[in-house]
Amino acid sequence: MSNNVEESGSVLGSKRAATQYRILVQIADRQPAVSQQEVADAIGITSQAVSNYLQGLVDQGWVEKLGRGRYEVTKEGVDWLITRTDGLRELVSHVSEEVIDEVEVESALATGSIDEGDRISLTMRDGVLRAAPGEQGSATAVAVTAADAGQEVGVTDFEGVVDYELGAVTAVPVPSVRNGGSRAVDAARVAELAGGHDLLAVAGPEALALARAADLDPDVRFGTPEAVREAAAKGLDVLLLATNDRLSTHTDKLRDDGISYEVVEPGAD
């Protein structure tokens, strides 16, 4: 290691490495006519400190002095910048994807007036996390925003477990059009089944035709494997009409997540 030059490690590993990085960036951005005072003003250190760092960078071979007030970052200096920038990208990715995600802030629907900093109770109803003023529930949290009833509120610092039961899925397989399609299923029975469920999901044209024959308006038509699984995981009972070739995609997801399902075949009308 030469004078004031950090050869390896993270840019954030020391103040010296961070300052070298910032000086090199300023030179690369302004070269070849670079004033030490301009660099000093840009990064918030003295001109004398910049001069000391520059001498070390020149000795290391990362900066070439072309004349009075003229500096240029060398190929070696560019390589060092690239490797440290890649390291910063990885750090930023780690922080954004893992660290920040660990500082959980969820959103819930306020059931009453809540002020920022209030301790609140959490419940799950109709597949929606709800926040009520007070700590009377099995799960509590702290509000990080204020909200009136019906508005969303940010919550964190969770304690306890939200007490609710998983939903269940009733799956009705629908034959392909070559095997009778929607006409091969009892539409009246499907309408009866729908009455005991919170949501209706359809997968495939034959399934949509069956829903319409039963005078039903589907709640979910696209992305049904994920939507059905998530709805059931949030306590909603789902009636799924799916063509035979698509049914296993749905049931596999439900089985993997431990969600109860039943396959019912109403048969022909």
| Residue 12: pLDDT over 90 | no
**Looking at residue 2, what is its pLDDT?**
42
First to last CA, the chain: 85
Residues 177 and 241 in one domain: yes
**Looking at residue 136, what is its pLDDT?**
86
Identify the band that residue 95 occupies on the pLDDT scale cut at 50, 70 and 90: low
Structural domain span for residue 155: 106-160
The answer as to whether 83 is a domain residue is yes
Share of the chain above pLDDT 70, in %: 90
Residues 29 and 83 in one domain: yes
The answer as to whether 203 is a domain residue is yes
Residues 30 and 49 in one domain: yes
Residues 83 and 140 in one domain: no
Assign 223 to helix, strand or coil: coil
The answer as to whether 1 is a domain residue is no
**Looking at residue 269, what is its pLDDT?**
57
Q: Which of 101, 118, 152 is the last residue of a domain?
A: 101
Task: CATH number of the domain at 55, please.
Answer: 1.10.10.10
| Residue 98: pLDDT over 90 | no
| Residue 1: pLDDT over 70 | no
Residues 259 and 176 in one domain: yes
Task: CATH number of the domain at 207, please.
Answer: 3.40.1010
Q: Tell me how many domains the chain contains.
A: 3
The answer as to whether 61 is a domain residue is yes
| Residue 15: pLDDT over 60 | yes
Q: State pLDDT tens for residues 113-165.
A: 999 999 999 999 999 999 999 988 889 999 999 999 999 999 998 889 888 88
Assign 29 to helix, strand or coil: helix
Residues 78 and 118 in one domain: no
The answer as to whether 175 is a domain residue is yes
Q: Which of 82, 101, 120 is the last residue of a domain?
A: 101
The answer as to whether 3 is a domain residue is no
The answer as to whether 190 is a domain residue is yes
Q: Which has the higher per-residue pLDDT, 38 or 2?
A: 38
| Residue 104: pLDDT over 50 | yes
CA distances from 195 to 51, 217, 251 (A): 79, 12, 22
The answer as to whether 146 is a domain residue is yes
Residues 78 and 115 in one domain: no
Q: Which of 160, 178, 203 is the last residue of a domain?
A: 160
**Looking at residue 204, what is its pLDDT?**
97
Residues 77 and 143 in one domain: no
This prediction has a pTM of 0.59
Of the ranges 3-17, 41-55, 99-113, which is most confident?
Answer: 41-55
HEC sequence for 231-258: HHHCCCCEEEEEEHHHHHHHHHHHHHCC
Residues 74-98 have a mean pLDDT of: 77
